[in-house]
Amino acid sequence: MRLIDHWLADGSEGLPPAPLSPVFDPNSGEVQAEVPLGGADVLQRAIDSADAAQPGWAATNPQRRARVLFRFKELVEAEIDSLARMLSAEHGKVVADARGDIQRGLDVIEYACGIPHALKGEYTQGAGPGIDVYSMRVPLGIGAGITPFNFPAMIPMWMFGVAIACGNAFILKPSEKDPSVPVRLAQLMEEAGAPKGILQVVQGGAEMVNAILDHPAIAAVSFVGSSAIAQHVYSRGTAAGKRVQAMGGAKNHGIVMPDADLDQAVADLVGAAFGSAGERCMALPVVVPVGEATADALRARLLSAIAALRIGVSTDPDADYGPVVTAEHRARIERYIQMGVDEGAELVVDGRGFRLQGHEGGFFIGPSFFDRVKPHMRSYQEEIFGPVLQMVRAESFEEALKLPSRHQYGNGVAIFTRNGHAAREFAARVNVGMVGINVPIPVPVAYHSFGGWKRSAFGDINQHGPEGVRFWTKVKTVTQRWPDGTPDGGNAFVIPTMG
């Protein structure tokens, strides 16, 4: 059985035996590899290497650090096809979607290549008589990232790209469900010229997560996953004195106004709801048509589009989406579908029981579509994270606006309309962190920042872009005076002023 081991600067030899967790092939349901679930001993070895490497890396000028990232970007681009196949084989998303996963991560690496500009501080000449003041951004030291199964390339690169560019060492704990690509990315970073110990990968489950949160040498932690775990990560990490950003779950809404281009809206909604089998925190699992006429017309078009969806193995170039990541996750999705039925929602399309011919053991589930879902239903209030689209009918713009604004999650939202005033009003008033106007998945470009509100994010600083630079650095401010040799007769016991 193939072992996907840790990637440590000093290797994993001599570490005590650890329990092994299976890595499945979602297309067949068979175990294809195993990964060790390490704990504090593995983490300590990584920290020792990071601690030795980080001061020298921080002292390397930003332009030279950027050159390493440029080379890393080139190496990943040269391997993007094999990396996409590797990712697809463990996650289940189709290869084209896996390439997109990698490319969106590379976008942040590309942003991080401009780190010499992003790290420039502020300067005031003559803040007082002969006194100048300047600030600089300095690295935190050792950072850590805890990443989910659904984007095993993009989210790690969102984290370590900026952190390493800023001069930090970084320890990555990827999901144990699809750990191969993160290990390969760490290998490529070393090939690109990063010193050993600057990027390491530790494998593990809850024990490793808690070890990261508790270890005093780790200055900051970035996390993406479910809201319950995000809250735990934030609470435990901050209690240990760390800077923490913890991105949680989502229940993103797509508002469809009566004047929307319904054909375009349907194409966007189906792709955003069912792409990657709905395993995206920026998916659109809730559609909110405004007015009964809009709802009826939208429903008819959605049914036609859903019927045309093709589910296939992840290597099928014609498949719209592939299997979900594990049998356990498929069972969870099916429980939510039954919950919706029990709560009284109208199950118009039932994806349960779908089996792909020749791949009956795979973790496949068909698309499901509910109509007449009500806000009080638990299946609406919670994140399903699968290929399930729920329609909540609204009588007015104001009612539609309230639905995402009052929901416990506030990651993303979209509005489909031709009316500029309605779009502007919606964007200004909706209580959600990322807004799309005729854009179904409003993930910001790399030089802006990603982050939701409410239970979708814990912590005050978002990911990547300028916010990422702020998260992975701290500000040092220097007040300097170069005397001309003439005593000023000042009293050193009086607090200095700049007047």
Catalytic residues: 281
Per-position b or e across 229-247, b if 16+ CB within 10 A of its CB: bbebbbebbbeeebbbbbb
Q: How many other β-carbons are positioned within 10 Å of the β-carbon of residue 310?
A: 9
Q: What angle do CA 173, 218, 224 make, to 5 degrees?
A: 40
Give backbone dihedrals phi and psi of 182, rounded to 5 degrees, phi first.
-55, -40
Q: 365, 376, 308: which is closest to 337 by C-alpha?
A: 365
Q: What DSSP line would sit under 93-154, residue for residue? A: --HHHHHHHHHHHHHHHHHHTTHHHHT---EEEEEETTEEEEEEEEE-SEEEEE--SS-TTH
Q: Are strands 220-224 and 142-146 parallel, antiparallel or unpaired?
A: parallel
Provide the H-helix boundaries in 113-151: 115-118
DSSP 438: S
Give backbone dihedrals phi and psi of 286, rounded to 5 degrees, phi first.
-130, 125
Helix, strand, or coil (residue 413): strand
Residue reference for tokens 């008033």:
429
Which residues contact residue 192 at a Cβ distance below 8 angstroms, ignoring those fewer than 6 apart? 68, 69, 71, 72, 74, 75
Q: How many other β-carbons are positioned within 10 Å of the β-carbon of residue 356?
A: 19
Q: How many other β-carbons are positioned within 10 Å of the β-carbon of residue 129?
A: 10
Q: What is the dihedral sign for C-alpha 9, 13, 18, 19?
A: positive
DSSP 72: H
User: What angle do helix axes 80-91 and 95-112 make, rounded to 10 degrees?
Assistant: 120
Q: Are strands 457-458 and 412-416 parallel, antiparallel or unpaired?
A: unpaired
Is the distance from CB of 273 to CB of 387 less than 8 angstroms? yes
Is the distance from CB of 27 to CB of 327 less than 8 angstroms? no
What is the Cα–Cα distance from 202 to 45, expressed in whole angstroms? Answer: 10
What is the Cα–Cα distance from 317 to 320, expressed in whole angstroms? Answer: 8
Which residues contact residue 31 at a Cβ distance below 8 angstroms, ignoring those fewer than 6 apart? 1, 22, 23, 24, 25
